[in-house]
Structure 1
Amino acid sequence: MEQWKKNLIVLWFGQFLINAGMTMIIPFMSLYLQFDLGLSDKHEIGVWAGIIFAGNFVTSFIFQPIWGKYADKYGRKVMLLRSGFGMAIVMTLMGFATTPWHLLLLRLLNGTISGFNPGAVSLMSATTPKSKVGFAMGTLQSGGIAGTILGPLIGGLLADSIGYRPIFYLTGALMFAASMLAFFVVKDPFDRSKAASKHTISVREGLKKLIKVPGISSLYTVTFLIQFAMMSPMTLIPLFVQELHGNGPNLAFWAGLVSSVTGLSNMIASPLLGKISDKIGSVKVLSVSLIGAALCFIPQALSHHVWSLLASRFALGIFLGGLNPSVNSLIRKYTPDGMESRSYGFNSSMLALGNMAGPIVGGALSGSIGIQGLFVLSSVLLFANMFWVWQKLIRNVPVQQKNV
C-alpha cells in the first residue's frame, strides 16, 4: 500500500477518536457535575456546563496558529503526536476531577495543546498526490465530522452502561492508542534542515502575509460561517425532537438518532464528493454543497414529524460532506509553500470560533425566534456564504485559477 494511503487510514481513525472524545461529554456533562462533582442548583449546573464546554474552544482558538507556526518549523508529525499524547493524558485526568474548577482548567488545557486535526490535514495535504487531494481531504474530514456528531450518541450510551468517570479513562486510552499508531505508521517527508534555514516570522506577521493571498481570507470566512450555521441550532435539536415526538417511549433514542444521522450521511458522502472535486474542481463542489445545505435547513424548520426532520437531517449530511474538505483542499492550493501548517492552524481557529459562537448565539436567539427560526437563520447564512464564495473565489479569481 502506498504510504499516503497508510497515513490516511491511520489519521482517519485518529480524527474520529479525537473529535468524538471532545463531544462525547455533551449528553452527561450536567449529570457529571450533579452526581460526581457535587452541584445541586440547576441554574449553577447549567452555567458551569456551558462554560466548561466552551472553554476548550476558547484556548483552541488562541493557540492553533501558534502550533501551526511550530509545525512549519519542526515538522507536522511532531506537532500531531504532541497533541495526540497530550490530549490523551488530559482526557484521562478529567475522570479524576473533584470540582467544576478542575474540569474547567483541564478543558482549557485541552484546547491549549490541541492541534491533532489541523496537523492531520496539513500532513495529508503534503503527502498526497495532487490528483488525489480532494479524495484524501474528503475522507479525512469525514472521520472528524463523524466523530463530532456521533460523539454525543456514543457518550450517552456509555454513560448508561459504565458510568461517567470511566468514559474519560476509556477515551484517553483510545486517544493514546491512536497516537501510538500514528507514531509507528504515519510518515512525514519533512525536511527540518530546510525549514530551519528559512526566516521565521511571528504569528501576527504570518497572518498578515496569508490574508494578503487572494482567496485565503475568503476561505477563513467561509469556514467560520459554515461552522456557525451548523452549530447554532445543534444544542436545541433534542428539545425540538421532544416537541415533535412528545414524552413518549424512546425519546432519548430519537433525539440521539436525529443528532447523529447527519454524521452517518456525511461519512458516506465526503469521500465521494472529494473524488468529484478532483475531477471538476473544489470551488464547484463547495458552491453546490453550500446551496444544497442551505436548502436542507428549510424543511427542518417546517417539520411536523420526527421522520421528516430525520430525512432532512440525513440530506443535510450529504451536502456537508462537500464543505470543509473543499475548503481544506482550496487552502492547500492557495497557501504559499512552507506555510501550510500555519494556514491550517488559522483555519482551525476559525472553526473553533464557529463552534464557540454558534451555540451561544443560537441559545440567545432561541427565546425570540425558536429553533425553527434558527434553522431559517442557518439557511440564510449558508446562502450568504454562497454569495461570498461567488464574489471572492469565482468572480474575482483569475481565469487560470478557476479550475482549483
Structure 2
Amino acid sequence: MEQWKKNLIVLWCGQFLVMAGMTMIIPFLTLYLQFELGLTDPHEIGIWAGVIFAGNFVTAFIFQPIWGKLADRYGRKLMLLRSGFGMAVVMVLMGFAESPWHLLLLRMLNGTISGFNPASIALVSATTPKERMGFAMGSIQSGAIAGTILGPFIGGLLADAVGFRPIFYITGSLLFMASLLALFVVKESFDRSKAAARVQATVMEGFRQLSRIPQLLALFGVTLLIQFAHMSPMTLIPLYVQELQGSTENIAFLAGFVGSVTGLSNMIASPLLGRLSDRIGAQRVLMVSLLGAAIAFIPQAMADSVWQLIISRFIFGMFLGGLIPAVNALIRKYTPDGMESRAYSFNTSTLSLGNMIGPIAGGALSGWIGIHGLFLVSAVLMLMNGAWVWHTLIRRR
C-alpha cells in the first residue's frame, strides 16, 4: 500500500477517536455531575454542564494557531503525537475527577494541548498526490465529523453498559493506541533545516499574512458559519424528538439515532464528494453542498414525525459531507508554502468558535422562534454562505 494511503487510514481512526472523545460526554455529563461529583441543584448542574462542555473549545480556539505555528517549524507528525498522547493522559484523568472544578480544568487542559485534527489534515495534504487531494480531504474529514456526531450516541450506549467513569478510561486507552499506531505507521517528509531557515512570523503576523488572501478569509468565514448553522439546533434535538413522538418512550434512543444518522450519511458521502471534487473542482462541490444543505434544513423544520426528521437529517448529512472537505482542499490550494499547518489551525479555531457559540445562540434564539425557526435560520445562513462562496471563489476566479 502506498504511504499516503497508510497515513490516511491511521489518521482517519485518530480523527474519529479524538472528536468522539470530545463529544461523547454530552448524554451523561449532567448525570456524571449529579451521581459522581455530588451536585444536587438542577440549575447548578445545568450551568456547570454548559461551562464544562464549552471549556474544551474555548482553550482550543486560543491555542490552535500556536500549535499550527510550531507544526510549520518542527513538523506535523511531532505536533500530532504531542496532542494524541497528551489527550490520552488527560482523558483518563477525567475519570478520576472528584469535583466539577477538576473536570472543568481537565477539559480546558484537553483543549489546550489539542491539535491532532489540524496536524492530521496538514500532514495528509502534504503527503497526498494533488490529483487525489479531494478524496483524501473528504476521507479524513469524514472521520472527524463522524466522531463529532456519533460521539454522543456512543457515550450514551457506554454509560448504560459500563457506567460513567470507565468511559474516560476506555476513550483514553483508544486514543493512546491510535497515537501509538501513528508513531510507527505514519511517515512525513519534512525538512527541518529548510523550515528553520524560513522566517517564522508570530501568530498574529501569520494571521495578518493569511487574511490578506481574500479566498482564505472567505473559507475561514464559511467554516464558522457552517459549524454555527449545524450546531445551533443540536442541543434541542431531544426536545424536538419528544414533541414529534408525543411521548417520552424511547426518547433517548430516538434522539441519539437522529444525531447518528447524520454521521452515517456523512461518512458515506465525504469520500464520494471528495473524489468528485478532484474531477470538477472543489469550488463547485462546495457551492452545491451549501445549497443542498440549506434546502435540507427546510423539511427538518416542517417534519410531522420522527421518521421524517430522520430522513431529512440523513439527506442533510450527505450534503454536509461535501462542505468541510472542500474547504480544506481549497485552503491547501490558496495557502503559501510553509504556512499550511498554520492555515489549518486557524480554520480549526473558527470551527471551535462555531462549536462554542452555535449551541449558546441556538438556546437563546429558541425562546423567540422555537426549534422550527432555528432550522430556517440555519437554512438562511447556508444560503448566505453560498452567496459568499460564489462571489469570492467562483465569480472572482
Q: Whole-Å Cα distance in 1 between the matches of residues 246 and 188 of structure 2?
A: 52
Partner residue of 1:252?
A: 252
Structure-to-structure mapping, 1:340-359, within 5 angstroms: 340-359=340-359
* Deviations 1:293-350 (CA, angstroms, capped at 9, x unpaired): 0000000000110010000000000000000000000000000000000000100000
Structure-to-structure mapping, 1:11-50, within 5 angstroms: 11-50=11-50
Structure-to-structure mapping, 1:213-252, within 5 angstroms: 213-252=213-252
Matched, 1:303 2:310: no
Partner residue of 2:117?
A: 117
Note the aligned Cα RMSD (angstroms): 0.6
Partner residue of 1:396?
A: 396
Q: Whole-Å Cα distance in 2 between the matches of residues 343 and 133 of structure 1?
A: 16
Structure-to-structure mapping, 1:128-147, within 5 angstroms: 128-147=128-147
Q: CA deviation at 1:247?
A: 2.3
Moved over 6 A (4+): none
Q: Whole-Å Cα distance in 1 between the matches of residues 322 and 92 of structure 2?
A: 34
Partner residue of 2:168?
A: 168
Q: Whole-Å Cα distance in 2 between the matches of residues 97 and 44 of structure 1?
A: 18
Q: Whole-Å Cα distance in 2 between the matches of residues 106 and 171 of structure 1?
A: 15
Q: Whole-Å Cα distance in 2 between the matches of residues 165 and 2 of structure 1?
A: 40
Q: Whole-Å Cα distance in 1 between the matches of residues 251 and 207 of structure 2?
A: 47
Equivalent position SS for 1:97 = coil
Query: TM-score, normalising length from structure 1?
Result: 0.98
**Identical pairs, percent:** 71
Matched, 1:337 2:327: no
Equivalent position SS for 2:337 = coil
Q: Whole-Å Cα distance in 2 between the matches of residues 135 and 291 of structure 1?
A: 21
Q: CA deviation at 1:241?
A: 0.2
Q: Whole-Å Cα distance in 2 between the matches of residues 307 and 120 of structure 1?
A: 36
Partner residue of 1:208?
A: 208
Q: Whole-Å Cα distance in 1 between the matches of residues 393 and 135 of structure 2?
A: 21
Q: CA deviation at 1:226?
A: 0.2
Q: Whole-Å Cα distance in 2 between the matches of residues 321 and 109 of structure 1?
A: 30
Partner residue of 1:384?
A: 384
Q: CA deviation at 1:391?
A: 1.1
Q: Whole-Å Cα distance in 2 between the matches of residues 210 and 153 of structure 1?
A: 37
Equivalent position SS for 1:37 = coil
Q: CA deviation at 1:252?
A: 1.5
Q: Which amino acid aligns with 1:362?
A: G
Q: Whole-Å Cα distance in 2 between the matches of residues 288 and 91 of structure 1?
A: 38
Partner residue of 1:402?
A: none
Matched, 1:63 2:72: no
Equivalent position SS for 2:214 = coil
Q: Whole-Å Cα distance in 2 between the matches of residues 279 and 235 of structure 1?
A: 37
Partner residue of 1:293?
A: 293
* Deviations 1:180-202 (CA, angstroms, capped at 9, x unpaired): 00000000101111100111110
Equivalent position SS for 1:271 = helix
Q: CA deviation at 1:248?
A: 4.5
Q: Whole-Å Cα distance in 1 between the matches of residues 119 and 356 of structure 2?
A: 21
Equivalent position SS for 1:381 = helix
Q: CA deviation at 1:148?
A: 0.5
Partner residue of 2:91?
A: 91
Partner residue of 2:317?
A: 317
Q: Whole-Å Cα distance in 2 between the matches of residues 269 and 311 of structure 1?
A: 15
Q: Whole-Å Cα distance in 2 between the matches of residues 271 and 89 of structure 1?
A: 32
Q: Whole-Å Cα distance in 2 between the matches of residues 155 and 51 of structure 1?
A: 19
Query: TM-score, normalising length from structure 2?
Result: 0.99
Q: Whole-Å Cα distance in 2 between the matches of residues 99 and 5 of structure 1?
A: 43
Partner residue of 1:53?
A: 53
Which consecutive unaligned segments of at least 5 residues does structure 2 have?
none
Q: Whole-Å Cα distance in 2 between the matches of residues 50 and 149 of structure 1?
A: 18
Equivalent position SS for 1:215 = helix
Q: Whole-Å Cα distance in 2 between the matches of residues 147 and 179 of structure 1?
A: 16
Matched, 1:190 2:190: yes
Q: Whole-Å Cα distance in 2 between the matches of residues 314 and 60 of structure 1?
A: 29
Structure-to-structure mapping, 1:152-167, within 5 angstroms: 152-167=152-167
Structure-to-structure mapping, 1:66-81, within 5 angstroms: 66-81=66-81
Which consecutive unaligned segments of at least 5 residues does structure 1 have?
398-404
Q: CA deviation at 1:213?
A: 1.5
Q: Whole-Å Cα distance in 1 between the matches of residues 169 and 221 of structure 2?
A: 36
Partner residue of 1:362?
A: 362
